[in-house]
Amino acid sequence: MNNMNLEELKRIKECEGIVYKFVNKYKNYCNFEDLYQAGLIGVIKASRKYKNNENCKFTSYAFKYILGEIIDYLRKDRNIIVSDEIYDLYKKYTKTKDLLYLKNEKEPSFDEVCSFMEIDKQYMLNIIESISFAKSIDDDEKLYNEYGYDDTNNIDDKILLNNELELLNDNDRNLINYRYYQGFSQMETAELLGLSQAKVSRQEKLILNRIRDKIST
């Protein structure tokens, strides 16, 4: 890292947004600085292979290198293996939620599902977060394998959307995380955030409208 030339330093500056996108995504699971360094290694590798006549911007070319280095670090740093027992409990949770919905004709709360299962709420939440993290890594690996270096528009759109999510305050980001990344209902999200279901519904619409408006301008 100490042998970087001026061109590589310039490239790192160009790609800071992409690096921070993935670092912020996984900073609660791994060391922030180590993840950042992995991202920079990806930028440098891309810089040393990139030619100015490549049929895409450097940021799009470097995207796959950055993502690849961070995925590689995450898989080496953490034992991302979810046991069959954990998966079975997660499946039981989702089936119980569906069962209670059919029985009562309304969306059950997170507390109600855990109570019916006779399982500790914090333990269940840890299970859901573990599954979410493992799925997130798998999704990013699929993204890594799917996109070539010249798929500029698709990659740039994804970067833009994710960057907008990173700009949200903690409460709004948590709301979107629970609703769209962990699959919680509005009622479950409301309980986890200490809000009413109506408040979660209103806030969710406001957040999504703000993101859409900003992206479309």
Residues 6+ apart with CB under 8 A from 205: none
CA torsion 106-198-90-135 (nearest 10°) is: 140
CA torsion 21-25-31-36 (nearest 10°) is: -10
Alpha-carbon distance 66 to 121, whole Å? 36
Q: What is the pLDDT of residues 73-86, one digit of tens each?
A: 887 776 555 678 88
State both tokens at 38: 């992995």
Q: Which domains does the chain have, with CATH numbers?
A: 6-167 (no CATH), 168-217 (1.10.10)
Residues 6+ apart with CB under 8 A from 108: 97, 100, 101, 116, 185, 187
Q: What is the pLDDT of residues 109-153, one digit of tens each?
A: 889 999 999 999 999 988 887 787 777 777 777 766 655 433 334
Instruction: For residue 199, report the phi and psi dihedrals to the nearest 5 degrees.
Output: -65, -40
pTM as predicted: 0.52
Confidence of residue 156 (pLDDT cuts 50, 70, 90): very low
Is pLDDT larger for residue 90 or for residue 53?
Answer: 90
Which pLDDT value is given to residue 148? 43
Q: Quote the radius of gyration of the chain (alpha carbons, Å).
A: 20
Contact 154, 147 (CB under 8 A): yes
Q: pLDDT exceeding 90 applies to what percent of the chain?
A: 13
DSSP state, 106?
A: S
DSSP state, 107?
A: P
Given a cut of 70, whether residue 55 has pLDDT beyond it is no
Count CB neighbours of 127 within 10 A: 19
- Which residue in this structure is represented by tokens 């979660």? 200
Which pLDDT value is given to residue 119? 93
Which pLDDT value is given to residue 163? 62
Which pLDDT value is given to residue 43? 92
